[in-house]
């Protein structure tokens, strides 16, 4: 059913390289938590975004690429749909990928609200991939990029090799701990999950990619 008067506008954005043998039917099943939440009866029916200028959910069969720039109205229960979707995509992914999800508070108007008021906007970074190692690689690459971009304001890039080595060391320790725990069937912290932000730092511009 469509979510009328929903408290959030939710935008899902990212691209995932899929295995060459993945079929449309398999992808439709993996993405069922999304299109079913939108009240659709199939992926084709639910692939269109709430905004016409967004391409929605697209499957490039030639490049084996899932591309998402898709918005839907909803509530916090959409987070469960995201978790279920990540589990489905993990089974189809060729390599690790990040998916950005932004919740926009539809009831918050910056012009009308008191200056001290904060919106309920939220931002999640989800990670998918065929193995925990593939997912950790994406997490590592994004963290290195963020840290280097931040520190290059104060240091030359050639000075930051030690910082990158320390980040690699942290991820190696996390992966070793995962392997030694014999819990490869369970996702490590942050796997398919999220890093949360967006409160108190100003609203993220809508549809800025």
What are the Cα distances from residue 27, in Å, to 31, 124, 185?
Answer: 6, 22, 22
Single pTM value for the model = 0.76
- Residue 191 pLDDT exceeds 50: no
Of 88, 85, 118, 113, which is closest to residue 101 (Cα–Cα)? 85
Query: How far apart are the C-alpha atoms of 82 and 192, rounded to whole Å?
Result: 9
Beta-carbon contacts of residue 80 (< 8 Å; ≥ 6 apart): 33
Query: How far apart are the C-alpha atoms of 46 and 70, rounded to whole Å?
Result: 10
- Residue 194 pLDDT exceeds 70: no
3-class DSSP string for 34-61 = HHHHCCCCCHHHHCCCCCCCCCEEEEEC
Question: 82-128, pLDDT tens digit by residue?
Answer: 999 999 999 999 999 999 999 998 876 655 555 555 667 889 999 99
- Residue 203 pLDDT exceeds 60: no
pLDDT score recorded for residue 177: 78
Length in residues, the chain:
209
3-state secondary structure (DSSP) of residue 70: strand
Q: What value does the mean pLDDT of the chain take?
A: 83
Beta-carbon contacts of residue 168 (< 8 Å; ≥ 6 apart): 140
Question: 138-162, pLDDT tens digit by residue?
Answer: 998 888 888 888 888 898 888 888 8
Question: 57-86, pLDDT tens digit by residue?
Answer: 999 999 999 999 999 999 999 999 999 999
């Amino acid at each position: 059913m469509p979510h009328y008067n929903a408290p959030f506008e939710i935008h899902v954005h990212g691209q995932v390289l899929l295995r060459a043998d993945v079929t449309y039917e398999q992808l439709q099943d993996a993405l069922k938590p999304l299109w079913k939440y939108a009240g659709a009866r199939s992926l084709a029916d639910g692939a269109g975004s709430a905004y016409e200028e967004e391409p929605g959910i697209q499957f490039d069969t030639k490049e084996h690429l899932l591309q998402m720039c898709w918005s839907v109205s909803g509530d916090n229960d959409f987070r469960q749909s995201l978790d279920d979707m990540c589990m489905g995509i993990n089974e189809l992914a060729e390599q690790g990928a990040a998916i950005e999800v932004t919740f926009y508070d539809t009831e918050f108007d910056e012009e009308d609200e008191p200056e001290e008021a904060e919106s309920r906007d939220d931002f999640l970074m989800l990670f998918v991939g065929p193995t925990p190692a593939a997912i950790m690689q994406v997490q590592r690459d994004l963290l290195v990029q963020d840290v280097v971009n931040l520190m290059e304001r104060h240091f030359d890039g050639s000075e930051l090799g030690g910082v990158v080595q320390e980040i690699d060391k942290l991820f190696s320790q996390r992966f070793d701990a995962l392997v030694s725990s014999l819990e490869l069937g369970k996702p490590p912290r942050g796997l398919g999950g999220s890093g949360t932000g967006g409160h108190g730092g100003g609203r993220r511009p809508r549809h800025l990619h």
